[in-house]
Amino acid sequence: MEKKILAIVGLGHIGGSLAASLKAAKAPWHLRGADRRRRDVDYALRRGLIDEASSSPAEAAAGADLVLLATPVGAIRTLLDELSPRLAAGQVVTDVGSTKASIVAHAASVLSGGVAFVGGHPVAGTERAGVEAAVEGLFEGRRCVLTPTDSTPPRALELVAGLWGAVGAEVSFVSPESHDRLFARLSHLPNLAAYALVNAVAASVSPAELAFGGGALRDFTRVTQSPPALWRDVCLENRGEILEALAELGRELERVRESVAQGDGAALESFFQRAGEVRGTQWRR
């Protein structure tokens, strides 16, 4: 079987782990890698994660069947601008950004007709970063959301779905807008709340006193170890939905604040009960 060419632009934790996982699965892809940091490309080549090192995104993309943009969210639109004049009809571009609507819309506006874009979001975030943290099997059993639109060619969607399927991901399809509405609530909001919580606590608790905290604060705030630029970019790209999600959280916090202020035990109990039931139906741990 002839190998197709996959150009991975951005050899960080996600790009590197995808390469490692494709190699481990002996998937029929010839892997090219490019990254702003030359030493990460060299590392990936040396470790056998990629077959070929490219010196630029354009060089990696030239003639590739599939170009995967695995850079931080904030760099994807610029990369699309940069690559669009170099891509030829029949090539497919995809990404791994954790916001989708603005990226998909931008791709539609800058890529020429014959070049297909399929928005993608492998839900496998960890707080680790960098190609040296690349992990085989990172996507095994994890969800990968693809966000086709009415104009996405079925052939392009199949190609990208096949890539993620090859590394064991469970592929789902939703519209870019639904993706952003969902992930504003399921991911962006909890992360923002964790950052806000740490900042709120730090305002009145000294670092030494933090050591008194039990498991709740520690677990709750683990996510704050992500690179700050990541959440900055997500906030800027998914602004509307995040603002709505923050308003929804504000309403619930105001509700519990009122019940506390009034000493309304029954209202408090039903507030906690309701959340426990919703959460308990979804996850056992």
Q: Which of residues 221-250 bind a second copy (CB under 8 A)?
A: 221-226, 228-229, 231-232, 235-236, 239, 242-250
Closest separation in Å from C-beta 199 to a second copy: 5
Closest separation in Å from C-beta 99 to a second copy: 13
Interface with a second copy: number of residues (CB under 8 A): 93
Binders of a second copy among residues 163 to 202 (CB under 8 A) are 172, 174, 181-183, 185-187, 189-202
Residue in this structure with the two tokens 């990936």, named with its chain if needed: 44
SS3 labels along the chain: CCCEEEEEECCCHHHHHHHHHHHHCCCCEEEEEECCCHHHHHHHHHCCCCCEECCCHHHHHCCCCEEEECCCHHHHHHHHHHHHHHCCCCCEEEECCCCCHHHHHHHHHHCCCCCEEEEEEECCCCCCCCHHHCCCCCCCCCEEEEECCCCCCHHHHHHHHHHHHHCCCEEEECCHHHHHHHHHHHHHHHHHHHHHHHHHHHHHCCHHHHCCCCHHHHHHHHHHHCCHHHHHHHHHHCHHHHHHHHHHHHHHHHHHHHHHHHCCHHHHHHHHHHHHHHHHHHCCC
Quick one: which of 60, 75, 124, 131 contacts a second copy (CB under 8 A)?
124
Closest separation in Å from C-beta 171 to a second copy: 12
> Does residue number 114 form part of the binding site for a second copy (CB under 8 A)?
no
Nearer of residues 44 and 73 to a second copy, judged by Cβ: 73
> Does residue number 78 form part of the binding site for a second copy (CB under 8 A)?
no
* Sign of the CA dihedral with 71 first, then 75, 80, and 81 last: negative
Closest separation in Å from C-beta 150 to a second copy: 22
How does 270-284 read in b/e, with b if 16+ C-beta sit within 10 Å?
ebeeeeeeeeeeeee
> Does residue number 103 form part of the binding site for a second copy (CB under 8 A)?
no
> Does residue number 125 form part of the binding site for a second copy (CB under 8 A)?
yes
Closest separation in Å from C-beta 46 to a second copy: 29
> Does residue number 18 form part of the binding site for a second copy (CB under 8 A)?
no
> Does residue number 88 form part of the binding site for a second copy (CB under 8 A)?
no
Nearer of residues 111 and 249 to a second copy, judged by Cβ: 249
Among the listed ranges 29-37, 39-47, 82-90, 207-215, the one in contact with a second copy (CB under 8 A) is 207-215
Nearer of residues 85 and 215 to a second copy, judged by Cβ: 215
Binders of a second copy among residues 134 to 153 (CB under 8 A) are 143, 145
Nearer of residues 132 and 272 to a second copy, judged by Cβ: 272
